A and B are shown apart, each in its own frame.
Chain A
Amino acid sequence: MSTDTAHPPIEIQGLSKTYRLGFWMSRKVQALKSLDLTVNSGEVYGLLGPNGAGKSTTIKVLMNLVRASAGKALLFGMPPHFKEARRHIGFVPENPAPYEYLTGREFLNLAGQLAGLSGHTLDKRVKEVLQLVAMERAAGLQIRRYSKGMIQRIALAQAIIHKPKLLILDEPTSGLDPVGRRQMRDLILAEREQGTTVLFCTHIIPDVETVCDRVAVLVGGNRVREGSVKDLLTSEAPLFETVLEGVALSQIHAWGYQPKYSKEIGERLIVRTSDQEAQSLARKVLGLSGRIIQLQPVRFSLEDLFLQAMTEVKQTVGTEIT
Chain B
Amino acid sequence: MIQGFGALALNGFREARRNRVTLVVGFFALALLMCTTLVTEVTVHTFNRVLTDVGLGVMSIMLVLLAIFLSSGLLSREIERRTVFLMVSKPVSRSVFLAGRLAGNMLTLTLLLLAMGALFFFEVSAFRNAITSTQFVAIGVLWVELLLLSSFGFVMSSFSSQIVSAVVTTGVYFAGHLVTDIYNISSRSKSELFRLGGKIAYYVLPNLSRLNYRPHASYEVAVTPSEVVSSVAYGIAYSAALVVLAMILFSRRDFK
Contact = CB atoms under 8 A, between A and B. Distances in A.
A118 B2 CA distance: 12
Interface of chain A: mostly helix, strand, loop or mixed? loop
Given A66-B256, A67-B254, A95 B82 contact: yes
Interface in B78-114: 81-83, 85-93
Interface in B233-256: 252, 254-256
A111 interface: yes
A101 B91 contact: no
B215 interface: no
B157 to A, nearest CB: 17
Nearest to B97: A114
Given A67-B254, A102-B14, A114 B85 contact: no
Interface in A239-295: none
A89 B81 CA distance: 22
A64 B256 CA distance: 11
A98 B83 CA distance: 6
A65 interface: yes
B256 A110 contact: no
A82 to B, nearest CB: 9
A113 B2 CA distance: 10
Interface residues of A, number: 31
A65 B86 contact: no
A109 B89 CA distance: 16
Interface size class of B (residues with CB under 8 A): 20 to 34
Given A64-B88, A64-B89, A65-B255, A114 B14 contact: no
Contacts of A114: 4, 7-8, 87, 90-92
A212 to B, nearest CB: 22
A158 B7 CA distance: 15
A83 B93 contact: yes
Given A102-B11, A111-B90, 13 more contacts: A60-B255, A66-B254, A66-B255, A83-B92, A83-B93, A89-B89, A91-B85, A97-B86, A99-B15, A101-B14, A106-B14, A110-B7, A111-B86
Interface of A: 19, 60, 63-67, 83-84, 86-87, 89, 91, 93, 95-99, 101-102, 106, 110-111, 113-116, 118, 155, 158
9 contacts: A86-B91, A87-B91, A91-B85, A93-B82, A96-B85, A99-B83, A101-B15, A101-B19, A116-B3
